Amino acid sequence: MTEQPGARRAYSVEELLGPLNPQEQRYAPKQLFAAGHTEWLRQEPRVSVVGARKASPDGLKRAAKLARLLVKHGAIVISGLAEGIDAAAHTATADAGGRTVAVIGTPLSETYPAKHRGLQQLLMREHLVVSQFPDGHRTTRKNFPLRNRTMALVSDASVIVEASDGSGSLSQGWEALRLGRPLFLMASILDHPGLSWPRTMLDYGAMVLHKPHDLLEQLPEPVDDPLAVLA
Q: Check: pTM over 0.75? Answer yes or no.
A: yes
Domain count across the chain: 1
pLDDT > 90: percent of the chain? 87
Examine residue 4 and state whether it is found in any structural domain, yes or no. no
| 11 Cβ neighbours under 8 A, 6+ residues apart | 31, 32, 33, 34, 38
75-85 tens-digit pLDDT? 999 999 999 99
Examine residue 1 and state whether it is found in any structural domain, yes or no. no
CATH number at residue 193: 3.40.50.450
**Residue 150 identity (one-letter amino acid):** T
23-67 tens-digit pLDDT? 999 999 999 999 999 999 999 999 999 999 999 999 999 999 999
Examine residue 199 and state whether it is found in any structural domain, yes or no. yes
Examine residue 229 and state whether it is found in any structural domain, yes or no. no
Examine residue 227 and state whether it is found in any structural domain, yes or no. no
pLDDT at position 210 is 93
Residue-number span of the structural domain to which 174 is assigned: 9-216
Where are the extended beta strands (E) located within the chain?
A: 9-12, 31-36, 46-50, 76-79, 99-104, 128-131, 157-160, 183-186, 207-209
